[in-house]
């Protein structure tokens, strides 16, 4: 039997590296493509002796050449935290537009299935709650988050274009807030920020009054949803996320309690266009994929905390 081959763009990122693990476990040969703008070799170093794993250092906004057959292309390359896309606005726009075009063209040329990593950011600051896939969103195109939101909305449109015009077997996932080991400690997201601050005994930076809500999904649940979606026949966007919603203030307090830290909370300005609420409606994923998240927040946070404690930055720190 021939070994199936998958290309994962952004394969050295947080999600890409977990996808690499899953596809290797499913018997695939994995080509991991990354330019390490926000990804890290540390995320994939445990795979360096795996003969079915290949790392290619490339910017996917340039022409992509991959020799041989490809059965699937997972397009996960992109800066994906508010701090990252504020620092790299042009790269974020380019990887969502030009990068998606290159990845789609490659999938089409190889007859491969295509999975686009889209985002709950497509809903912007949502006026429908919880968010269903048929909601078109409330996005500010010219605000600081616009570079990410609009790039992903364009990427969805382009993917549907390839599906309709070329008959490409494409799938689109709208990923809600996801956490777990291999998140970058300094990516500015709430979870690594809070855990890092708690471990260092620094004030916990809650933006605004902390009443904005998010719903956090553990990475293994997300990856399982992605695996099922790729193997489904659904071309339209599908939400994958954990519907357990909480305020950021509650979340901050939970992290402090978990770490046993003496850190106090400090309240800073809410960033521009920060969505006030976010919660996935996963009725569709439940129905067509038989999927729902399984990992309890408390368990996922503990595993993630262990990971951060093991990072070189915290060697010897005992918060």
Catalytic machinery residues = 148
Q: How many CA atoms, within 13 angstroms, populate the side-chain half-sphere of residue 227? A: 19
Residue keyed to tokens 């290309």? 7
Site residues for ligand UDP, 185-204, by CB under 6 A, read 188-190, 193
The rounded distance, in Å, linking the Cα atoms of 38 and 187 is 9
Stretch binding ligand UDP (CB under 6 A), from 88-96, 184-192, 233-241, 300-308: 184-192
By C-beta, is 66 or 248 nearer to ligand UDP? Answer: 248
Which of 43, 177, 239, 304 is in the footprint of ligand UDP by CB under 6 A?
177
By C-beta, is 7 or 277 nearer to ligand UDP? Answer: 277
By C-beta, is 160 or 185 nearer to ligand UDP? Answer: 185
Q: How far is CA 18 from the centre of its chain?
A: 10
By C-beta, is 193 or 230 nearer to ligand UDP? Answer: 193
- Residue 19 tokens read as 């996808």
Q: How many residues bind ligand UDP (CB under 6 A)?
A: 15
- Each residue 246-285 as x (binds ligand UDP by CB under 6 A) or -, in order, gives --x----------------------x--x-----------
By C-beta, is 55 or 216 nearer to ligand UDP? Answer: 216
Residue 135: closest CA among 144, 125, 143: 125
Stretch binding ligand UDP (CB under 6 A), from 58-66, 96-104, 182-190, 232-240: 182-190
38 binds ligand UDP (CB under 6 A): no
Q: How far is the CB of 81 from ligand UDP (least distance, A)?
A: 6
102 binds ligand UDP (CB under 6 A): no
82 binds ligand UDP (CB under 6 A): yes
The rounded distance, in Å, linking the Cα atoms of 131 and 116 is 19
Long-range contact pairs involving 260-265 (C-beta distance under 8 Å, separation at least 24): 260/319, 261/198, 261/199, 261/201, 261/319, 262/201, 263/197, 263/198, 263/201, 263/202, 263/203, 263/204, 264/203, 264/204, 265/203, 265/204, 265/206, 265/210
Stretch binding ligand UDP (CB under 6 A), from 84-92, 123-131, 205-213, 225-233: 205-213
- Each residue 214-243 as x (binds ligand UDP by CB under 6 A) or -, in order, gives x-----------------------------
Q: How far is CA 6 from the centre of its chain?
A: 18
Dihedral in degrees, nearest 10, Cα atoms 51, 52, 57, 58: 160
Helices assigned H by DSSP within 219-289: 219-230, 248-259, 283-289
By C-beta, is 214 or 228 nearer to ligand UDP? Answer: 214
Residue 101: closest CA among 72, 74, 141, 63: 63
Which of 154, 207, 236, 314 is in the footprint of ligand UDP by CB under 6 A?
207
Residue keyed to tokens 């790039």? 151
Footprint on this chain of ligand UDP (rule: CB under 6 A): 81-82, 177, 188-190, 193, 205-207, 212, 214, 248, 271, 274
């Amino acid at each position: 039997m021939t070994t199936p081959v998958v290309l994962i763009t952004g394969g050295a990122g947080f999600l890409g590296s977990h996808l690499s693990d899953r596809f290797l476990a499913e018997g695939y040969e994995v080509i991991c493509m990354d330019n390490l703008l926000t990804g890290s070799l540390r995320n994939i170093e445990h795979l360096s002796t795996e003969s079915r794993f290949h790392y290619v250092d490339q910017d996917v906004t340039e022409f992509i050449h991959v020799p041989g057959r490809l059965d699937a292309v997972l397009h996960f390359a992109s800066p994906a935290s508010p701090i990252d896309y504020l620092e790299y606005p042009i790269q974020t726009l380019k990887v969502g537009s030009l990068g998606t075009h290159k990845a789609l063209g490659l999938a089409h040329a190889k007859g491969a299935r295509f999975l686009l990593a889209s985002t709950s950011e497509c809903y912007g600051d949502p006026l429908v709650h919880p968010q269903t896939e048929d909601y078109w969103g409330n996005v500010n195109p010219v605000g600081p988050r616009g570079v990410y939101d609009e790039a992903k909305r364009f990427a969805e449109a382009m993917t549907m274009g390839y599906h309709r015009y070329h008959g490409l077997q494409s799938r689109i996932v709208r990923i809600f807030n996801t956490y777990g080991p291999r998140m970058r400690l300094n990516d500015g997201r709430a979870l690594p920020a809070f855990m890092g601050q708690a471990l260092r005994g620094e004030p916990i930076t809650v933006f605004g009054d902390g009443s904005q809500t998010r719903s956090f999904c553990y990475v293994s649940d997300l990856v399982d949803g992605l695996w099922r979606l790729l193997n489904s026949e659904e071309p339209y966007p599908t939400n994958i996320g954990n519907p357990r919603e909480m305020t950021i203030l509650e979340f901050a307090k939970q992290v402090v309690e978990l770490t046993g830290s003496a850190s106090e909370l400090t309240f800073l300005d809410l960033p521009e266009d920060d969505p006030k609420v976010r919660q996935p409606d996963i009725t569709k994923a439940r129905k067509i994929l038989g999927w729902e998240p399984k990992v309890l927040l408390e368990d996922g946070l503990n595993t993630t905390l262990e990971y951060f404690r093991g990072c070189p930055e915290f060697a010897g720190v005992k918060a």
